[in-house]
Structure 1
Amino acid sequence: MKMKKLLLFLSCVLCVSADALHEDIHVIGCSYIHGGVMFGLDREELWYADFEKQMDVSPQPTFIQPIGFGAGAYEAAVSNLDTCRQNLHFTRESLKDYPAQRDAPSGVMIYTRNEVELTVKNTLICHVTGFYPAPVKVSWTKNGRITTEGSSINTPYPNKDGTFTQIARLKFIPQQGDVYSCTVEHLALTDPLTKTYNVETPETPETPETPKPSVGPAVFCAVAVIIGLLSAAGGIFFILKANKCI
């Protein structure tokens, strides 16, 4: 029988299979402004609801057989979000003075999904982790100007230490000299955190080094000289000894 761990945090439900080879998760999280519903497997997103665009998203890799969640999955997520906010309201009413814990992001990284080739479509990833509460706000710029086209952000993913991870993506076409940045805002930050990415031509392979002379013959010659000197010294020793005996 599978053992299940249940974590309830302001209507954020985390289900973990403790004795199986895989770990599955279902997150329902909310505030009065933001909300998220997500299904995941082995720390990878399978499905989440994008409430801003009013649609569901399945960021599953193309090389696996897609895992479906059935018709009406987005509508069910909207219903779960409403229930979450009702529970949040009742919780705040009963715990009027609960402490507001805030942890700033411990790590922000920006990198590309695939190896960069100029003029070939790619995706920039802004990986934010170690923050509490969720979510963070991520904005993108291209050459100093705010850009939103092709951008998306996933539902906050809970870490084992109680903090969250969130990943923002930006589809782009690399052009030599372009500069992109992702800026992260969070309740625990006094100033936003910004990471930049410069598009550069991939480095050309280095010219093979000129083969260096082998040290083998030199070592061999040195050893031969030493052996020769030792042999000469041995011969002189025996000659002198023989002379004494005469």
Structure 2
Amino acid sequence: MKELLLFLSCVLSVSADVLHEDININGCSDSDGEKMYGLDGEELAYADFNKQKEIYPLPPFIDPITIPGEYEHAVGQQQICRNNLKVVRVGMKDFPPKHIAPSGVMIYTRDEVEFGEKNTLICHVTGFYPAPVNVSWTKNQQKVTGSSINVPYPNKDGSFRQTFRLDFTPQLGDMYRCAVEHLSLTEPLTKIYEVEASARPDPGVGPSVFCGVGLTLSLVGVAAGTFFLIKGNECS
């Protein structure tokens, strides 16, 4: 019997390689709530409690994934979460404050910039706790609305990351500003993106290179023709 138990212990201790990792988050606070499902570090679906629907933030070239009744389920889970939050607060005599400022803020474009062509500005914030952060956009010091927001996603160290997107059409000289607010910050963290002339290829480079290559090939052809003409005259 002892040998059998030892054998079973060895079998149970064998580990297998992890092929995929999924995550299911259901969280709440006094003013915010989150219900999100992710796979391998990417969001597959989350509940938008402002728009009152389930969001599937996958790119259009991926087959859509839908979960019938998931938003209604998320709303019910929020009520349970807030009831549990009240009970835990009483037992712990409220939660000790723990605020960690964002460790990184990046702003960049989704696609290569071309003047007059629609694009997306991305403001990525990571390393903060607790979630969420708030982001506001300005264009040439004027407030801009209509941005899209991903729900906070946990990092392996227990902090969070969150992504904000703003559709825009690049024009030379425009300046966009992404301002990040968090409980740990006394003033917003700001990143700036300027649409510069270097973003647009020089329209004269292509034709100039083409003409230069054509001229070189022409000169090589003339030289080769002259060489064979002289050789032909010597043979005759």
* TM-score normalised according to structure 1 size: 0.72
Equivalence for 1:164: 160
Contact residue 119 and residue 169 of structure 2 kept, 8 A? yes
Equivalence for 1:196: 192
Change (3 A) 1:203 1:121: closer
Equivalence for 2:106: 109
Equivalence for 2:234: none
- Secondary structure of the equivalent of 2:76? helix
Once residues 114 and 74 of structure 2 are traced to their aligned partners in structure 1, the CA distance between those partners, rounded to angstroms, is 38
Equivalence for 1:140: 137
- Secondary structure of the equivalent of 1:75? helix
- Corresponding residue to 1:74 among 47, 71, 74: 71
Larger radius of gyration: 1
Equivalence for 1:185: 181
- Tell me how large the CA RMSD over aligned residues is: 1.9
Higher helix share: 2
Displacement of 1:97? 4.9
- Corresponding residue to 1:153 among 149, 152, 167: 149
Displacement of 1:75? 1.3
Displacement of 1:68? 1.9
- Secondary structure of the equivalent of 2:84? helix
Once residues 74 and 99 of structure 2 are traced to their aligned partners in structure 1, the CA distance between those partners, rounded to angstroms, is 27
Once residues 98 and 195 of structure 1 are traced to their aligned partners in structure 2, the CA distance between those partners, rounded to angstroms, is 32
Map Cα deviations across residues 10-62 of structure 1 (whole Å, 9 max, x no partner). xxxxxxxx853111111112110111111111111111111122222111022
- 1:100 counterpart = 2:81: no
Displacement of 1:119? 1.7
Paired residue type of 1:38: M
Equivalence for 1:32: 30
Displacement of 1:115? 1.1
Map Cα deviations across residues 111-169 of structure 1 (whole Å, 9 max, x no partner). 111111122111111100000011111111111111112x1111110111010001111
* TM-score normalised according to structure 2 size: 0.75
Question: Which consecutive residues of structure 2, in runs of 5 or more, have no partner in the other structure?
Answer: 1-15, 210-236
Displacement of 1:204? 2.9
User: Aligned residue pairs: how many?
Assistant: 190
- Secondary structure of the equivalent of 1:64? coil
Contact residue 131 and residue 152 of structure 2 kept, 8 A? yes
Once residues 137 and 145 of structure 2 are traced to their aligned partners in structure 1, the CA distance between those partners, rounded to angstroms, is 7
Paired residue type of 1:200: E
1:217-228 pair list within 5 angstroms: none
Paired residue type of 1:141: T
- 1:58 counterpart = 2:56: yes
Once residues 97 and 40 of structure 1 are traced to their aligned partners in structure 2, the CA distance between those partners, rounded to angstroms, is 30
Contact residue 128 and residue 159 of structure 2 kept, 8 A? yes
Displacement of 1:67? 2.0
Map Cα deviations across residues 64-84 of structure 1 (whole Å, 9 max, x no partner). 2222222x2111111111211
Equivalence for 2:116: 119
Once residues 20 and 65 of structure 2 are traced to their aligned partners in structure 1, the CA distance between those partners, rounded to angstroms, is 15
Equivalence for 2:82: 85
- Secondary structure of the equivalent of 1:81? helix
Change (3 A) 1:87 1:183: same
What stretches of structure 1 move > 3 A for 4+ residues in a row? Answer: 205-208
Map Cα deviations across residues 155-184 of structure 1 (whole Å, 9 max, x no partner). 110111010001111111212211111111
Displacement of 1:203? 4.4
Paired residue type of 2:53: M
